[in-house]
Structure 1
Amino acid sequence: MITQEFAKLWWKLSKDLRTHMETELAPTLTEGQLTVIELLLGSGKDKMKPSDFIDHLDTTPAAITTLLDRMEKNGLIARERDAKDRRIVWVVVTEKGLQECERGVQIRERFLQAYLSRISSHNQQLLVYLLGKVANA
C-alpha cells in the first residue's frame, strides 16, 4: 500500500533528521530549544509569553516551563517582566541564543540539502509542492 510505504519513508527521514540534529546540536542546544528560538524570532515580535508556545510545541505548560528554565540557565533566552504589568513574563532571545539558532539552522540546512541533492532541482520543487498539498489538506 502506498500509505505504508509513505509512512515507512517518512519515519526514516524524520528519524534520521532527529538523530542528526540532536547529535550535531549537542551539547549547547537541543532540537526543541532550536524550535523555541525559531518561534521567538519568527513571531514578528521580539518576545513571547510562555503560554504562547503551547499551541506550537504540542506539550504541557509544565514541560514548557522546564524547557525555558534550561534555556535560560544555558543563556539562550532571558525572561523579562512587563514594564506595565509585572504579572506578565516575556521570553526573549539572547545573543548566544541568536548564534546557536544560526548554527542550528545551518546544521539542518546542510542535512536536508544532502538529502535533496539526490534528486533534480525540478523534482525538489515538485516534492515541496506535493508535501505542501499533503500538509495543508
Structure 2
Amino acid sequence: MEKTELDLLEEADWLFRKMVRKFVKERDKIIIEGVMLPGFLILKKIIQEGEQRLTDLADELDLTSGAITAICDKLEDRGFAVRKRHNEDRRIVLLEITDSGREFIERNNDIGLNLISVLFSGFSLEEIQLQIDVYRHLINNLEGLAGEILSLAKENENKKDSTIQKSHFLTY
C-alpha cells in the first residue's frame, strides 16, 4: 500500500519527535566527573570564545534561565568556572573558566569528537551534508511555528463560536 502525503508527514513528525526525545534522554545520561554534557559544552565554548554571558549561553544551548543557573552552580561547585559581573554593566553576569576547568576539558578533549563520531556513524559525507541542509530547513520552518499554530487555533475557536451562534439562532 502506497503511503499518502499525510502518512509521510505524520511519520516524519513522529520520527523527528522520537529522535529529539531520545537525544535528550541519552544526552542527560552523559556525566563526566560530575558535569553533565551541557556543562561540558559551556566550558568548551568559553575556551574557544572567552567568557560568556549567561543569557547568551542559555539561548545558544536552548536552556531556560533556571537550567543555566543550575549548570553554572555545578560548574562553580566543582571549581571549573566562576561567575563575575560585567565591568560596565553590573546587571550582566559572565561565566569564566578556571584553570581546573581548562584541565578538565584538556583531560576529556576526546569526548566531543567521539560524541559526534558515534552520533553520525555510518553516514556518508553526502548524507551528512543532506542532514545539514534538512536541519537548517527545519530550523527555518520552526521560526514562527507557535504563532502560526496559535493563530489557526484562534480561527478554529472563532468558528466554534460562530457555529454555536448559528445553531442557537436556528432553534428559534
Q: TM-score, normalised by structure 1?
A: 0.68
Deviations 1:14-73 (A, max 9, x none): 34433433334345321321343344345x4x112323334333413x443222111111
Counterpart position of 2:120: 113
Alpha-carbon distance in 2 for matches of 1:127, 1:65: 32
Q: 1-side partners of 2:89 and 2:132: how far apart?
A: 44
Task: For 2:18, give the aligned amino acid.
Answer: K
RMSD between aligned alpha carbons? Answer: 3.1
Q: 1:2-21 to 2 correspondence within 5 Å? A: 2-21=8-27
Q: Residues 55 and 128 from structure 1, CA distance in 2 versus in 1: closer, same or farther, beyond 3 angstroms?
A: closer
> Which residue does 1:102 correspond to in 2?
109
Helix, strand or coil for the counterpart of 1:23?
A: coil
Aligned positions of 1:1-137 closer than 5 A? 1-41=7-47, 44=49, 46-56=50-60, 57-60=62-65, 62-82=66-86, 84=87, 87=90, 89-93=93-97, 94-99=101-106, 102-114=109-121, 117=122, 119-137=123-141
Distance, in Å, in 2 between the alignment partners of 1:89 and 1:51 is 8
Within 2, Cα distance between the matches of 1:8 and 1:69? 35
Letter in 1 for 2:24: R
Identity of aligned residues (%): 17
Please say which structure displays the higher CA radius of gyration: 2
Q: Runs ≥4 in structure 1, deviation > 6 angstroms?
A: none
Q: Aligned pairs, how many? A: 130
Structure 1 residue identity aligned to 2:102? E
Q: Structure 1's 7 and 101: CA in aligned 2 closer, same or farther, altered over 3 A?
A: farther
SS class of match (2:35): coil
Distance 2:125 2:67 in 1: 40
Unaligned runs of 5+ in 2: 1-6, 142-172
Q: How far apart, in 2, do the equivalents of 1:63 and 1:120 lie?
A: 35
Tell me the secondary structure at the aligned position of residue 120 of structure 2.
helix
Q: Which has the higher contact order (CA 8 A, sep 6+)?
A: 1
Structure 1 spans left out of the alignment, 5+ residues: none
